[in-house]
Chains A and B, each alone.
Chain A
Amino acid sequence: MSQSAQSHLTLILDLSPKQWHLSSLEPDGQALSLLSFITQVLAFMNSHLALRHENTISVLGAFPRKSVMLYSTPGANDSGLDSTAPQDANTYQPFKTVDTIVSSRIMEEMESISDSIDSPTGLVGALSKGLCHINRVINPATRSSIESSSPLDPRMLILSVSPDMSTSYIPIMNTIFAAQKLKVKIDVCKIFGEDNVFLQQAAHLTGGSYVALMQRNALLQYLVMCFLASSSLRKIVAFPTHDRVDLRAACFCHKDIVDIGYVCSVCLSIFCSPVPVCSTCRTKFPVKTLRRFGFGPPKAVGNGTSKSGSATPQ
């Protein structure tokens, strides 16, 4: 353990009020309220910080149409600690600081949400901000000022409750490839709702793991057993392995998730039904091909009804 690198955890909390409300309405034993979620996540954060003195953390919240950096371990640039809080002999001050900042920031943001409860969360924003943060923190020019010399081992954990956001398919994929380049593993814990196609791909492509909760009230145990170990430790301990990975994509035209798509050979745009002209690069497709796919004038383009069924195998 002593030679393992200092690890930086970027935690992304999916804080969609609607999804959390639905989650708290689940039948007994499966219900998980936002408050109990936050308590358990705080305990997890504290255990990460307790593992090693140099460990750092940053917490991002994905609120409806918004993403906010809730907390990041004070580095060279930040002087985050508020010394005004009264000292309590029974608490470890650094933990208390993290806990109060994170929970009060979440409450602040939650209260400022007004009409946009239903809107999709700013997960992409949170992901990209997290990556920007990691990029700046591991940048050697900046790092020299942040005292430590041991290599930083950055990873990400997304605690997701929202369904797939197929509208942001391309940005999500772009962030995944950026994480790949930075060698950041993305772990995903699916707390509530159906499996997430794109987050599955994120974990798969970056070498992280995707875990869907079976027992929602045992969240903390899942977090500690599955996601506390640093990457160097993961080689040794039995780690949750990948289940099936769904490699589907979202079409460019309707943002539907498709398993069979029509792809422009020039720019590789994906469409859910045959189109005569590529909307991205304006390429016109040969009439012969379109006929083969059963695309004709009588059929209206763009209603998405003529999916894979009309396609003839070659």
Chain B
Amino acid sequence: MPPNRSNLDLSDSDYDEEVDVDDYDGGRKHTGKTKGKELPKNRDMGLGGKDGYSWEATYTRTWDAVQEDEGGSLQNAVEDLLARGRRRRLLAPTGAIRRTIIRHLVILIDLSSSMLDRDMRPTRFDLTLQYTREFIVEWFDQNPLGQVGIIGMRGGLGEKIGDMTGNPQEILKTISDRDKLLPDGEPSLQNALEMARSSMNHLPAHSSREVLILFGSLTTCDPGNIHDTVQAAISDKVRVSVVALAAEMKICRDLCNKTGGAFGVALNEGHYRDLLFEAIPPPAQRANPSTGGSALSSNPSSDLLIMGFPTRIPESSAPSLCVCHSELKRHGYLCPRCLAKLCDVPTDCDICGLMIVSSPHLARSYHHLFPVKPYQARTTIADAAPETCGGCSLAFPVPRVTLSDGSASGVSPVGRYGCPDCQKDFCSDCDEFVHSVLHVCPGCS
């Protein structure tokens, strides 16, 4: 465990830090994926452990995973699940992973009638929406400066569902309304690809342009020659990846091969998720998967970048010309070096070339660098222990006298969890909240 740094007691010297890179090695793999990964895993087991196509599988009952105890109560089973989740979180090492600086991704979601197929439960469509939500959260976690847009393929047209944005909440909102996205008609790869390409046209040359297609159909209904679109994508350096839900289509495979993307056909729900989540790490990293501790520090692609943090001009200010489109606009961002007004960040300043990013986007990933130390489950209440929690300042819940091996599973029998640094006691709600959401110890700060 690296020394606790959550209270930001960083010394002035840049060299005497004692963060052990090896400790961080691949740690992200656990933390990042534990959240949702358990589910598909269990489901795979439900399929009899074989990796067959989902339509070959036998009927599965998810409720089989939860067992009643002798008294016919689910209480213990649920407690056990919670405790196990807790322990997993405590054991998962937290640390630094490689993040790409600026990525741009457009997700093309097939909304044709083939998505209503039920070979993946509940339907391909519902599963896709659910996975896309998880994907977006995880993607932004690992690519904090990235931007994502969503385009749907429905009724032979490309349909803009969410504009390119760096705000995960905004994107999640656009796909939250299931009823607006109900599948219908035929998909058109060409229309949607053209739309995705044009939405990334304005981007600076060095930033990545990626398209991820979630394709359930076996046909595409295009107005022109799709091979022209493929050529255009190649010349624009757009990298196209496809996750097919039905079967391999030659045009999809070609599209990926020619643009340097990945192609995969999902066998079942779990495999679908794995294929989708493979698109989260930046492409460069995937080409060179050796991210061991020593490799990390000598990685040639690690670099020091100069970035500018702009001032945001509100919608209510007087209109002025932007340097990127030469249009009169009210809202914008000022380059800190040359004071040019830019429409959106992250981008490169058109005047002085400085990379302009919003610093909160960077800060979103800092909790991985300086995690809060795990609290220790208290087994007894100390004599001088306060009556209220050090976080929420409310009284501790009345301890329940249950759970025989409470201490072993990391659950405190008295419902108190102590910070190893400030020695304050916290209730289990706060323990959970501090480590999963807040990332600041209320007692230490």
Contacts and interface: CB of A to CB of B under 8 A. Distances in A.
Given A122-B445, A262-B304, A285-B302, A253 B12 contact: yes
Interface string A97-133: 0000000000000000000000000101100110111
A181 B172 CA distance: 13
Interface in A197-255: 201, 204-205, 241-249, 252-255
Contacts of B290: none
Given A132-B391, A267-B99, A170 B305 contact: no
A149 interface: no
Nearest to A246: B311
Contact of A244 (B313, B353, B429): B313
A31 interface: no
Contact of B363 (A249, A293, A302): A249
A265 B354 contact: no
A263 interface: yes
A156 interface: no
A247 B363 contact: no
Given A133-B392, A254-B12, A268 B438 contact: no
Contacts of B101: 263, 265
A284 B298 contact: yes
B72 interface: no
Contacts of A280: 17, 19, 96, 369
B352 interface: yes
A227 B398 CA distance: 37
Contacts of A49: none
Contacts of B391: 128-129, 132-133, 136
Contacts of A311: 306
Contacts of A78: 394-395
Given A125-B442, A204-B312, A244-B312, A171 B430 contact: no
A293 B429 CA distance: 47
Given A247-B359, A265-B301, A129 B24 contact: no
Contacts of B354: 260, 313
A170 B99 contact: no
A269 B312 contact: no
Interface in B276-299: 296-299
B393 A268 contact: no
Contacts, number: 254
A177 interface: yes
Contacts of A174: 363, 366-367, 438-440
Given A171-B6, A314-B353, A248 B369 contact: no
A260 B442 contact: no
A223 B312 CA distance: 25
B15 to A, nearest CB: 7
Nearest to A270: B362
B300 interface: yes
A132 B306 contact: no
B298 A265 contact: no
A268 B314 contact: no
Contact of B24 (A142, A248, A281): A281
Interface string A279-305: 111111110011001000000011000
A274 interface: yes
Contacts of A289: 303-304
Contact-residue bracket for chain A: 35 or more
A59 to B, nearest CB: 11
Nearest to B362: A268
Nearest to A258: B309
A245 B311 contact: yes
B434 interface: yes
Interface stretch (A16-24, A69-77, A82-90): A69-77
Nearest to A204: B312
B10 A253 contact: yes
Nearest to A250: B359
A135 interface: yes
A136 B438 contact: no
A283 B97 CA distance: 12
Given A124-B445, A249-B359, A313-B352, A181 B437 contact: yes
Given A204-B312, A245-B314, A247-B310, A283 B12 contact: no
Nearest to A171: B440
Contact of A129 (B314, B393, B427): B393
A259 B438 contact: no
Interface in A177-191: 177-178, 180-182
Nearest to B363: A173
Contact of A178 (B6, B99, B314, B438): B438
Nearest to A166: B8
A14 to B, nearest CB: 15
B393 A283 contact: no
B307 interface: yes
B392 A135 contact: yes
A275 B101 CA distance: 18
A262 B430 contact: no
A279 B17 contact: yes
B187 interface: no
A37 interface: no
Contact of A286 (B300, B358, B427): B300
Contact of A242 (B300, B314, B369): B314
B263 interface: no
A103 B308 CA distance: 45
A306 interface: no
B14 interface: yes
Nearest to A245: B312
A75 B397 CA distance: 13
Contacts of A246: 311-312
A16 to B, nearest CB: 16
A125 B444 CA distance: 8
Nearest to A311: B306
A261 B363 contact: no
12 contacts: A129-B390, A132-B393, A133-B392, A170-B366, A174-B439, A247-B311, A249-B359, A260-B336, A260-B337, A262-B307, A263-B304, A265-B305
Q: A-B pairs with the 7 shortest C-beta distances?
A: A132-B391, A249-B359, A69-B393, A259-B336, A173-B363, A77-B395, A245-B312
Given A173-B366, A311-B306, 17 more contacts: A77-B394, A77-B395, A122-B445, A131-B438, A136-B391, A177-B367, A178-B439, A243-B314, A247-B359, A259-B309, A268-B366, A271-B14, A275-B304, A282-B297, A283-B299, A289-B303, A289-B304
